[in-house]
Structure 1
């Protein structure tokens, strides 16, 4: 049986159990937190709060979360390790990659392909080697290995920096076998850009890619087109009922199950324990946006609408396991 990396080490994919495929623990602007730490407060208190919230999630029967927090989102593995050791009943799977809607981080702007014109030849992208190292050796000196790759494309579209990261992620995928998750903006149909760049041009198979935030769309024909192409759809923002209501999200899931795509969808919240990209008052206005919403509200609702236990098992157990089955081991 295949193995998958977690924060506490390798496990058999059969041990993933009930899996939420897109949850964060902390999303931070690290530079702001280091220089203006007042809002963050006490490190031990933040860790204790995360431990309590993740224990509550595990008490619902969730055995694994995938945390796609990468460069650009404030990834800091030693803190996640502290939390994982205190919640041994929950597997935490982490990612490598780069999160940007526009340009690559300044660190990369004058390295790699940016030097092609100066050098008069194609210069390899250093991102590829960094991503591969995170997967095959480990992240920094933590010993924790990433199990998947992450990139993003949002309403800004296929900006040059976004495309560069996409191609670096695709190359690292081919070198490691690690699967991919992509933050997408369904309203702009950016998954079609993912298909062209990563699949048609870079040769990644659609079934190795989760299209994150597909559940932000109620365009059933568009979602059906993506599922027919082979992608896994991330119905992963339950509780974030801002532009899409609870009923719209849940009814979209119900209809996609009715159309026969339960085996190409995964569920999650995209929740977190602390998120410094918005005023705390805004998060207070979304009381249902937490790790517990799917079990408490979503599953009872979709069951009433005809989604079967077999379909729920597919989305929470079978699709995540299949997604990680082909991860290369070293």
Structure 2
């Protein structure tokens, strides 16, 4: 298994947060206007990221999966520097973060390479087998997204490209969804059509809903559900008590081995003004919320230690230990 610091054995992963972000940084903006990108400068951004990641390590987190894909604002140099200062495993992603839009370069070069492979599949496979850019850091998971726009033709193309890269490399798939639209089922339908083993797919952001029937349908098909936005309690989404209760009820029904936990937090984000008042209402949106607050609440609610271990250690390991290509 590959991490920012190189290969590791799955037994070393420990307590794992399955959906986080070290950095969102618009590469074109930062190239032309670096002084406006870092808020206020790169050393300050690096220090904040190190502080946030170290707090997670101090809380017992041993591994994070950085789901920052192409178009998200990847910066492998920054991620490497953060990891050099914090003793933690960071698994990084390939994939693409867009709900519909694709640039002309991709739209006009849809087929490329041996067997007329989609350029998107080529990108994903290259990140997994060679490394992202010239960083030498190999991706271990494929990230894609379906949002309110639904499965548009472009979105379908992305999902199919991810499925084909998954089957070619064995790297698992993790997704962004809008669970209130139940579109994790649409993703599963396309993955299934491409021959994907749904047990190797995490349907992300599933914890935003309390719809047990929807969640069980996803898991009955084999997928893992990502309850991965703890701390991001927005209007219309489940709050902390509802999320804890939903997980407890799913564990009662025997689904603990198909649940993973996380926050979808971001250590540095050039899209947000750090001084903005809209950041203030989310004090729990941090990488320590799950280990320090959520896990104790689940334990108090009645979730067993065996189930807690499944959600935080054994299921993440099973997902990340990429199976063979098929």
Fold similarity call, TM over 0.5: yes
Residue 93 of structure 1: which of 91, 94, 106 is its match? 91
Cα deviation, residue 39, structure 1:
5.2
CA distance in structure 1 between the partners assigned to 2:120 and 2:262 by the alignment: 28
Q: Deviations over 1:83-102 (max 9, x none)?
A: 11111x20000010111111
Residue 268 of structure 1: which of 249, 262, 266 is its match? 262
Residue 147 of structure 2: which of 154, 179, 182 is its match? 154
CA distance in structure 2 between the partners assigned to 1:328 and 1:133 by the alignment: 17
Correspondence for 2:203: 211
Residue 10 of structure 1: which of 7, 20, 24 is its match? 7
Q: Deviations over 1:225-273 (max 9, x none)?
A: 1111110000100011113211111111111111110000000011111
The structure-2 alpha-carbon separation of the partners of 1:48 and 1:165, relative to structure 1 and needing over 3 Å to count, comes to same
Correspondence for 1:318: 314
Cα deviation, residue 38, structure 1:
2.3
Cα deviation, residue 275, structure 1:
2.3
The alignment's C-alpha RMSD in Å is 1.7
Aligned residues of 2:25 and 2:37 also touching (Cα < 8 A) = no
Q: Does 2:293 correspond to 1:297?
A: yes
Aligned residues of 2:60 and 2:291 also touching (Cα < 8 A) = no
Q: TM-score, normalised by structure 1?
A: 0.92
Cα deviation, residue 33, structure 1:
3.4
Aligned length: 317
Q: Does 2:122 correspond to 1:124?
A: no
Cα deviation, residue 181, structure 1:
0.3
Unmatched segments (≥5 aa) in structure 2: none
CA distance in structure 2 between the partners assigned to 1:125 and 1:254 by the alignment: 42
Correspondence for 2:222: 230
Unmatched segments (≥5 aa) in structure 1: 116-121
Aligned residues of 1:183 and 1:213 also touching (Cα < 8 A) = yes
Correspondence for 1:46: 45
| 2:2 counterpart SS class | strand
Correspondence for 1:118: none
Q: TM-score, normalised by structure 2?
A: 0.93
Correspondence for 1:69: 68
| 1:273 counterpart SS class | strand
